Amino acid sequence: MRSLDIILTTAVREAVVKLYGKDVPASKVQLQKTRREFSGDVTLVVFSLSPFSAKGPAETAQEIGNYLTGHLNEVEGFNVIKGFLNLNISASYWADFLNAVLSDAHFGRTTADAALSPVMVEYSSPNTNKPLHLGHIRNNLLGFSISRILEASGRKVIKVNLVNDRGIHICKSMLAWQKFGNGETPESTGKKGDHLVGDYYVRFDQAYKKEVEEFIAKGYNREEAENASPIMAEAREMLRKWEAGDKEVRALWHTMNSWVYEGFDETYHQLGVNFDKIYYESETYKLGRKLVLEGLEKGLLFRKDDGSVWADLSDEGLDQKLLLRSDGTSVYMTQDLGTAHQRFTDFDLDRHIYVVGNEQNYHFQVLSIILAKLGFEWAGKLYHLSYGMVELPEGKMKSREGKVVDADDLVDEMVRTAKEMSDELGKLGAIPDEDKEKIYYQIGLGALKYFILKVDPKKNMTFNPKESIDFNGNTGPFIQYSYARIQSVLRKAGETPAQVPATYDMNEKEISLIKTIYDFPSVIQAAANEFNPALIANYLYDSAKEFNQFYHDYSILKAESEVAMSFRLILSAIMGDIIREGMYLLGIDVPERM
RNA sequence: GGACCUGUAGCAUAAUGGAUAGUGCAUCUGGCUACGGACCAGAAGGUUGGGGGUUCGAGUCCCUCCAGGUUCACCA
């Protein structure tokens, strides 16, 4: 069936031609859901049409309203308030609409066009020297959710992870393991591999700081002291050996990284995220050098006297950016130029999304500019999905100060609290223990994920571990609860009717619910266009809340008539499907009971 | 200092340039022998950081000032 927006837009343009002899662009036809406090279903904002009619907004609205009621079966009445034309949509349109939704197993989802190029989403991108923390959680949840949202909006998606497995940071852990450890392994200690390696990174940092302080006490200034530190010199030497392919160093590197990957896999599994492809920096860090040299040859870049190669971005109001050091080696930017080029060569990408924290805004701005400068027409297809920091109530997290909220600890804490609260409410009495554990997990993770995803990504957010486990209000568990309750009612009712009863006279709240249902596909599109899962989250909350109120106001299983019951069961079933589908897009499970 | 981002009740958040700025937490009042109370109904709480401007209309766009954050490495 045709969407209401299209029917109305077409008819409004037609009306303006017939009434005023003018052709209005579709973009000037502004339709929106009528606000709750006014009567009507859909509102046409007439101000922008007023110039075409050469009449006042109210008069224009009146005339267009008359035209629409006269020409469209879907419009059965209207009222005008100032420049707003509020249209009443016929019950039969809504009934047809609901029937269409019932026969659509994936309402709201746009099926992918096979000819469409895929979108690549890079997210997570951890370093292999320490475990994941709260900031990574936001990254992973955003990346995974936006991938699902893009898929639901009809795009093909390739989820990739670029693991930063090489560099001085991992050498620090390796060195500390050699110096201070006793051959510990994840097996021998029972510790997750990423935590074990992370502990040695901390040990390195402590030893390094101690050395620096000692040199300062001897009268060095800080910079001199840092340069004089023997342990740092050792780490640099280890990196040099790594780059030279030293067998022993490579073997240790391989071993310790493999511990970390096992640990990460567990955390990813807990968070419910996954990837289609994993890139390793050890395999890509040399990419880009060739591109830079080619750019240099073409005169797009320039070389300084010391041999280093730079991009001049002064035309864009920025500084110069180093691309190759004076010794000819690459920097971070060079790598990213190379990996982007590699990916656009390997795949015909429609977009490339980088889910990376906002401290790298400048980096990605420059990345796009340099790629454009080098003449790649796909430079404009990069998009940096930038997100704000996650702060604690006490202040900014500082990994060096040990104030990080560890991802694994946090997940455990959420699940534990979910269990405590559920047990207190005692609603899961008859369910087998094994199922209970699963439900606690779903609730705990649902609380965490929803809390983080409901916030606009670009904003910094405060994560309060205590308050986040408040299961009231705009929370994941509230939405999960609404779903479980709907399923409970549907179980009791038996079979859900397959068709909207033809004779039923819908009340105002039922129509309001239908309008909410009607919005779902456009919310998915908006979330995909803006790369913002928060739009889905807030829509789900509003819907769940509205539906709870509906539950409260109207009996479903004891409705005043058979047709009313059928109708309300259909609304319930559809709303349940929307919640399940919407939560799926956020990467959140919904329990059948809780 | 330059660039970018953010600023909405005590706290946390929402609002394709549209109508009286929604919502939750906390606070206060009322409602459970229940289609599932992890709920619902109601009250109180706002000069949308300040000031200009554009517009029929500004939390939203422009200018300016203030506050906070990030960044401006031959680190990644």
Is the domain of A475 the same as that of A504? yes
- The number of folded domains in chain A is 3
- Residue A83's CB is within 10 A of a number of other CB atoms, namely 17
Residue A261 to residue A333: CA distance in whole angstroms: 25
A312 with A429, same domain: the answer is no
CA of residue A210 to C1' of nucleotide B73, angstroms: 24
pLDDT digits (tens, 9 = 90+) for A161-179: 999 999 999 999 999 999 9
Strand B atom within 7 Å of A334 CB: no
Q: How many CB atoms lie within 10 A of CB A125?
A: 20
| pLDDT of A397 over the 50 cut | no
Residue A392 has pLDDT above 80, yes or no: no
**Domain boundary pick from A391, A424, A452:** A391
Report, as an integer, the average pLDDT of A61-85.
Answer: 95
Distance CA A162, CA A537 (A): 28
Does some domain include residue A99? no
Separation of CA A363 from chain center: 21
Let me know whether A302 and A436 are in one domain: no
The reply to whether A36 has its C-beta less than 7 Å from any atom of strand B is no
Arithmetic mean of pLDDT, A61-76: 95
Q: Is A591 inside any structural domain?
A: no
Rounded to an integer, what distance in angstroms lies between the CA atom of residue A380 and that of residue A369?
9
Distance CA(A148)–CA(A583), nearest Å, equals 10
Task: Please state the rounded mean pLDDT for residues A276-280.
Answer: 96
Given this model, what pLDDT does residue A394 score? 63
Share of chain A above pLDDT 90, in %: 76
Distance (Å, whole) CA A436 – CA A456: 32
- Nucleic acid strand B within 7 Å of A325 CB: yes
Same domain, A199 and A280: yes
**A590 located within any domain:** no
The answer as to whether A442 is a domain residue is: yes
- Burial tier of A251 (Cβ tally within 10 Å: 0-12, 13-18, 19+): exposed
H or E element in which residue A45 lies: strand A42-45
- The interface pTM score, or ipTM, of the predicted complex is 0.94
Which nucleotide across the nucleic acid strands is nearest to A31, CA versus C1'? B16
User: What range defines the domain where residue A465 resides?
Assistant: 407-585
Q: Examine the domain organization and report whether A294 and A353 are in the same domain.
A: yes
Q: Are residues A411 and A387 in the same domain?
A: no
Residues A381 and A484 in one domain: no
One-letter identity of residue A561: S
**pLDDT higher than 90, residue A37:** no
Q: What's the pLDDT band for A429 if we cut at 50, 70, 90?
A: confident
Percentages helix, strand, coil for chain A (3-state, rounded to 5) are 60, 10, 30
Q: What is the pLDDT of residues A209-236, one digit of tens each?
A: 999 999 999 988 888 888 899 999 999 9
Per-residue pLDDT band for A399 (boundaries 50, 70, 90) equals: very low
Q: Which nucleotides of B are covered by protein (CB under 7 A)?
A: 2-7, 11-16, 18-20, 23-26, 35-41, 56-57, 69-76
Q: Cβ(A175)–Cβ(A202) under 8 Å?
A: no
CB A396 within 7 Å, strand B = yes
Among the listed ranges A30-34, A120-124, A557-561, A584-588, which one has the minimum average pLDDT value? A557-561
In 3D space, the residue among A423, A427, A431, A467 whose CA is nearest the CA of residue A447 turns out to be: A467
Dihedral of the alpha carbons of A506, A73, A570, A542, in degrees to the nearest 10: -80
Q: What is the average pLDDT value for chain A, to the nearest integer?
A: 91
Q: Is residue A417 a part of any domain in this protein? A: yes
End-of-domain residue from the set A326, A360, A391: A391
Q: Contact at 8 Å (CB) between A454 and A538?
A: yes
Asked whether residue A74 falls in the same domain as residue A152, the answer is no
pLDDT band at A115 (very low <50, low <70, confident <90, very high): confident
Q: Where residue A15 sits, what CATH number does that domain have?
A: 3.30.1360.70
Question: What is the greatest pairwise CA distance in chain A?
Answer: 92
In a domain, A69, yes or no: yes
Pair A366, A412 in one domain? no
The CATH number given to whatever domain includes residue A471 is 1.10.730.10
Pairwise CA distance, residues A67 & A75, whole Å: 10
Provide the CATH number for the domain around residue A283.
3.40.50.620
Task: Using DSSP, state whether A278 is helix, strand or coil.
Answer: strand
The mean pLDDT of A199-205, rounded to a whole number, is 94
Whether residues A44 and A158 fall in one domain: no
Q: What average pLDDT score do residues A62-72 get?
A: 96
Kindly state whether residues A363 and A493 are assigned to the same domain.
Answer: no
Task: Check whether residue A35 has its CB closer than 7 Å to nucleic acid strand B.
Answer: yes
Residue listed under structure tokens 């009863």: A501
Q: Is residue A387 domain-shared with residue A414, that is, in the same domain?
A: no
Average pLDDT over every residue of A308-335? 91
